A and B are shown apart, each in its own frame.
Chain A
Amino acid sequence: MTVENQRPITVELVDEHGIKPDEYERILQLTGREPSYTELGIWSAMWNEHCSYKSSKKWLKTLPTTGPRVICGPGENAGVVDIGNGEAVIFKMESHNHPSYIEPYQGAATGVGGILRDVFTMGARPIAAMNALRFGSPDHPKTRHLVSGVVAGIGGYGNSFGVPTVGGEVNFHSRYNGNILVNAFAAGIAKQDSIFYSEAKGVGLPIVYLGAKTGRDGVGGATMASAEFGEDIEEKRPTVQVGDPFTEKCLLEACLELMQTGAVISIQDMGAAGLTCSAVEMGAKGDLGVELDLDRVPVREENMTAYEMMLSESQERMLMVLEPTKEKEAEAIFVKWGLDFAVVGKTTDDLRFRVLHQGEEVANLPIKELGDEAPEYDRPYIEPGRHSGLEPSDVEDTGDYNAALLKILGSPDMCSRAWVWEQYDTLIQSNSLQIPGGDAGVIRLTDENGDPTGRALAFTSDVTPRYVEADPFEGGKQAVAECFRNLCAVGAEPLATTDNLNFGNPEKPEIMGQFVFAINGIGEAVSSLSMPIVSGNVSLYNETNGQAILPTPTIAAVGLIEETDKMAKVLGANEGDVVFLIGTEANHLGQSLYLRECLGIEDGPPPPVDLMTERMRGEFVRAAIGSGEITSCHDVSDGGLAIALAEMCLANNLGMTIDLASETPHASLFGEDQSRYIMTMQESYANMFAANAEGSGVFFSRLGTVGGDSLTIGKYVSLSVQEMRATHEAWFPEYMERRPAVEAAQ
């Protein structure tokens, strides 16, 4: 037996593994004796927050996860949703926050790699990716380096793998100074009759290791991601994995080829906690034991211990249960793609997880208890305090609306993100109908010959953390509602949702309160808007030296467009078109960008969302787009009406003349009241449109016309498109090119 495995188990060692004393008592009971060192590592890997969801499980169970289109909800590698024609979309969003802060390029790259693997493990070819990024204040000394590394890492992996990046978010706030967020989304398409799951079936069947070799990278990564950061963060660099998109691309092709042969009984990718987590999950789900022989695991480093091999998070690896008669055929496919293929174990009927190394049994544990009996906590929480209302009259009106509009339009959170997404391949696969910069990314669906079917999927990701911070329940609702709105704005029917819940330390009752109330808000919204949660991920302990991030429950959603020739875009308005607002005039300035950017205040409640209204207006907007008469459409969100109009002017390179007279112009222009859209159409359709809106009971108003080269809003705003563009496009490249004095001197 290796010396490592005989390492005595001390109180300190248990603590270093992030295992609490009472959890260790339970482990002693379940093991029936003191665990070996390798076994302690396995328990820690399975029972950490990242893998076991022990603080969040109780609340995740309350989320609506079923619906007529849901084929498979949470619990598998990704969610599966029926899109008709015998096909399914398979998608999920997942965080890679902790590693990306420690090593931004590799952290972000392997985040993309992990989520792509989740999707193709189930038999789907990835067709779209998105990413939601939150960075610290632009003034923070690490921010520029982190933005640069994360964006390059996402591009470096996704571009090489060959999936178009179609959307995402980038925001800055000082509360992310010590913990950035990197949330990666991927979606793929599969035939409904060839979807692959992780539940092992059959006793005595070979378990096969596929993909890249195992090294020492990422050992203990999942445990690292389940703790706060302190001063020792630099020491954690070795826990970050290193990605190889080339191997992943080969693995994709090999897996999809393999799946067609009938050789795959079940398959699971090796993500967090690598070999341990994948083997235990497959066995526990299938009520089977698993025996692994580590001497057969392909390795790229010498003298690895059993502990290291079981906890390595080396990337681009898979585990599968093989149909034994197909072994030769299966192996040939992997040889062709230059990948490892090794039978490393077998399924057993004794419900034990046994690990052999150099002829010794280094672990022998009950598999069901490892997988299913992780502790579940009902953590104490306190209801978050609420802000008292903030009337427009309580908020200073600066009087200079041109300046306010430009200030918001050119701010770090609202300026053009082209610097970011031009580093992502948005066009590969030739099916991109809408790339980043609009309300949703759109990818058309094709038949087996690659010919378009006239249908498409729309993808969006959203959350407004300042709203969630101010009111977790309303903020949670709003995140879902905005995704719903983004999908409706392109004419897509929202189908389903994935959530990526990023919060601080759940052991603090106020953080747990944010979590609980945000989940309640999300649950209410996905239920009212019929977009069930089919997959997701929780990232807790996003804290550094006791300072937590803004609560950030990122929502990503998928919608279906039945007729792509009627799809709407922000682009498409023509000179002379009529401009309509769906929704009412704004007066909500609490938590608005006007308040933050122009007055330097973060205060008040977030704008409430009325879900019935949201649904009604969304359905009206979709029906209007379905008429084929809408030339452009945009939802009204951050920055309010004035910013939405400005963004439409920029996209179309045309001006607009808008009628507006208001007692409280700052609120009318910049209030962030929810459930609103701007739509344009030819004058000849305007009466019909108005009649339809009235018939549907939807509030609307005719705002003005498209034309000229300036945006004019009443007597308040008059700005040339050119000036707005210069402001909108300036900040990001200027910020990224600006070199700190020290760096420039070198």
Chain B
Amino acid sequence: MKACVIQFPGSNRDRDMISALHKIGGEKPDLVWHTDTQLPPTDLVVVPGGFSYGDYLRSGAIAARSPIMNEVCKAAENGVRVMGVCNGFQILTEVGLLPGALMRNAGLRFVCKSVMLKVENADTAFTRLYSAGETIPCPVAHHDGNYFADSETLKQIEDNGQVVFRYAEGTNPNGSINDIAGIVNKQGNVLGMMPHPENLIESDHGGENGRLLFESAMEIAEARAA
């Protein structure tokens, strides 16, 4: 599968993401600059973490209005997989590909630490190699990860099984409603999550629990079998 990574000025986990996709997928992803008006042929678009446009105005707000995001939205409509991590999640909510919003952490401070994630839905393109209900460690590093949606939206995403990852009990680092750490859109081809699976793919990272997410999204097992 072919992957690409969108780069905005201020993206800073783009290199981590590129390296993870390269290591796991075996091929270097294409890099797409935010002013581009065309995506390369791709099966997976990744919007990486960072502080695009310095988080000015609201995190993700300015990046969501970059020319390339029109193309990302079109690709998502056509069923291409889109994955936003951290600032990428914020951008995907700002551009309307995912419901809800990411507010300032409840503690009002940046937080970087390992939390426990419960895989709530293992029936998505991004999580199918995990087991439903299993709990994995994963690092977070953000200032605005406090997920919020109004009660109606929240009911919908809960009822539809759109909540993919939840902070396991007692580890919610940011005050997210219903402990939500990651969601998919209704169609299941767009994922947004605050934790950083790309920082947990090698034994040097203290674990490889993030790998299955990439292997799911890039259909690595299938590629190996083929």
Of the candidates B20, B53, B55, B111, which one forms a contact with A430 in the assembled complex, judged by CB atoms under 8 Å apart?
A: B20
Does A160 lie within 8 Å of B112, measured CB to CB?
Answer: no
> B205: nearest residue on chain A (CB-CB)?
A430
How far does the alpha carbon of A452 sit from the alpha carbon of B202 in the complex, in Å? 10
For chain B, the count of residues having a C-beta within 8 Å of the partner chain is 31
> B17: nearest residue on chain A (CB-CB)?
A430
Quick one: given A160-B10, A244-B54, A564-B204, are A450 and B109 in contact (CB under 8 Å)? no
Does A422 lie within 8 Å of B113, measured CB to CB?
Answer: yes
Q: For the complex formed, measure the closest distance between the CB of A431 and the CB atoms of chain B, giving whole angstroms.
A: 8
How far does the alpha carbon of A155 sit from the alpha carbon of B12 in the complex, in Å? 14
Query: B12, B141, B199 — which one has the most chain A CB atoms within 10 A of its CB?
Result: B12
How far does the alpha carbon of A234 sit from the alpha carbon of B112 in the complex, in Å? 34
Does A160 lie within 8 Å of B55, measured CB to CB?
Answer: yes
Query: A161, A450, A451 — which one has the most chain B CB atoms within 10 A of its CB?
Result: A450
Does A450 lie within 8 Å of B141, measured CB to CB?
Answer: no
The reply on A138 being an interface residue by CB < 8 A is no
How far does the alpha carbon of A391 sit from the alpha carbon of B117 in the complex, in Å? 54
Interface string of A434-463 (1 = CB under 8 A from B): 000000000010000111100000000000
Enumerate chain A residues within 8 angstroms of B50, measured Cβ to Cβ: 162
Does A161 lie within 8 Å of B12, measured CB to CB?
Answer: yes
Interface of B is mostly: mixed
The reply on A8 being an interface residue by CB < 8 A is no
List A290-310 residues whose CB lies under 8 Å from chain B. Answer: none
For chain A, the count of residues having a C-beta within 8 Å of the partner chain is 34
Of the candidates B10, B109, B139, which one forms a contact with A427 in the assembled complex, judged by CB atoms under 8 Å apart?
A: B139
Does A427 lie within 8 Å of B141, measured CB to CB?
Answer: yes
Enumerate chain B residues within 8 angstroms of A418, measured Cβ to Cβ: 113
The reply on A156 being an interface residue by CB < 8 A is yes
Does B205 lie within 8 Å of A246, measured CB to CB?
Answer: no
Q: For the complex formed, measure the closest distance between the CB of B183 and the CB atoms of chain A, giving whole angstroms.
A: 23
The reply on A423 being an interface residue by CB < 8 A is yes
How far does the alpha carbon of A450 sit from the alpha carbon of B23 in the complex, in Å? 9
Quick one: given A245-B51, A427-B141, are A338 and B20 in contact (CB under 8 Å)? no
Of the candidates B9, B12, B112, which one forms a contact with A423 in the assembled complex, judged by CB atoms under 8 Å apart?
A: B112
Does A160 lie within 8 Å of B16, measured CB to CB?
Answer: no
Q: For the complex formed, measure the closest distance between the CB of B83 and the CB atoms of chain A, giving whole angstroms.
A: 17
How far does the alpha carbon of A431 sit from the alpha carbon of B13 in the complex, in Å? 12
Enumerate chain B residues within 8 angstroms of A155, measured Cβ to Cβ: 109-110
Does A430 lie within 8 Å of B199, measured CB to CB?
Answer: yes
How far does the alpha carbon of A336 sit from the alpha carbon of B190 in the complex, in Å? 29
Does B199 lie within 8 Å of A433, measured CB to CB?
Answer: no
Enumerate chain B residues within 8 angstroms of A422, measured Cβ to Cβ: 111-113
The reply on A398 being an interface residue by CB < 8 A is no
The reply on B65 being an interface residue by CB < 8 A is no
Enumerate chain B residues within 8 angstroms of A449, measured Cβ to Cβ: 22
How far does the alpha carbon of A425 sit from the alpha carbon of B51 in the complex, in Å? 12
Q: For the complex formed, measure the closest distance between the CB of B175 and the CB atoms of chain A, giving whole angstroms.
A: 15
Name 14 interchain pairs, CB-CB below 8 A, sorted by A. Answer: A156-B110, A159-B112, A160-B55, A161-B12, A244-B54, A250-B9, A338-B9, A424-B112, A425-B141, A426-B112, A430-B15, A449-B22, A450-B15, A450-B18
